[in-house]
Amino acid sequence: MSVRTEGLPAGPTSRGRALPGAATQLLRYLPAMTVLLGTLVVWEVATSGPGRHVLPPPSAILGAFAENGTVLRRSGLATFYEALGGLVIGTLAGILVALVSSHWSSARRVLLPVAIASSAIPIVAVAPILNNWFGVLNPLSKMGMAALLVFFPIMINVTRGLVEVPPAALELMRSYASSDREVLFKVRVPNMLPFFFTALKVSTTLAFIGAIVGEFFGGTSEVLGRVVLQSLSSGRFDIAWAGIAIGSAGAILSYLVVALAERLVIPWYRSVLAAQE
């Protein structure tokens, strides 16, 4: 019996040479962390002069957090809620259409060109329409924006993952006289999962963009998009940047959650990638 070392090919030497997990991780991210910290320091020093109004130094943005904590927290949560709702709706819709279009090739011939053509729609222009449809104060109008942005990458990638199965794998399943259902659940779906997670990671960011763009076109005031616009109009760039920072943090957090889910759901995938390098 063999014990598999997580994420590493189970070669006999891989464990002996490897550093302890935490240290390896730290070393791997050290360059990125250094660049990030360096940027913050340069930013702080460079903006401490007269230009500080438009691009305030990080310390001033931190100050804005402290000063307007309640509003920023509530706005962040509201926008997070909209983005998350849109992510869920767009993902479910994308999976549903992908399942339909992958199962019936006639549906694929109709749906895919339509979907690709409609992805050319400038989504920003749709925001006022959605506000109008769902009601400007209804969070669904912002979720709709997020969902629209999320839908395409999910749908296209999930369709690809379901359809792009090696022909020999299908012949193999056919030689077992397996049903369509078994082909779906034992071949197509597992084959699709890496495609899905790749799309989902992109979609977390898109969901925040969609929600915030929707907020720009009106709605409740305690949301990130409104906070940014209002603080700009009152010349408070520090609060605007704090709002943007919260939005980024939300998107990064969602990304990390998806990345973690990916590791848990398809643990084999990381080592496949590693083996291909």
Where does this chain bind other proteins (CB under 8 A)? Answer: 1-4, 9-10, 166, 168-169, 171-178, 182, 186-187, 190, 193, 266, 268-269, 271-272, 275-276
209: Cα within 13 Å, side-chain hemisphere? 10
Closest CA to 98 of 208, 205, 195, 204: 195
With b meaning 16 or more CB within 10 Å and e meaning fewer, what string describes 226-241? Answer: bbbeebeeeebbbbbb
Q: Output 9 or 113, the one with its CB closest to other proteins.
A: 9
Q: Output 10 or 257, the one with its CB closest to other proteins.
A: 10
Closest distance to other proteins from the beta carbon of 169 (Å): 5
Q: Output 117 or 168, the one with its CB closest to other proteins.
A: 168
Q: Output 164 or 182, the one with its CB closest to other proteins.
A: 182
Q: Output 2 or 13, the one with its CB closest to other proteins.
A: 2
Q: Which residues contact 209 (CB under 8 A, 6 or more apart)?
A: 146, 149
Closest distance to other proteins from the beta carbon of 97 (Å): 24
DSSP string over 50-115: GGGGTS--HHHHHHHHHHTHHHHHHHHHHHHHHHHHHHHHHHHHHHHHHHHHHH-HHHHHHHHHHH
Closest distance to other proteins from the beta carbon of 268 (Å): 5
Helix, strand and coil content of the chain, in percent to the nearest 5, comes to 80, 0, 20
Closest distance to other proteins from the beta carbon of 107 (Å): 25
Closest distance to other proteins from the beta carbon of 49 (Å): 55
| Strand boundaries in 100-217, DSSP class E | none
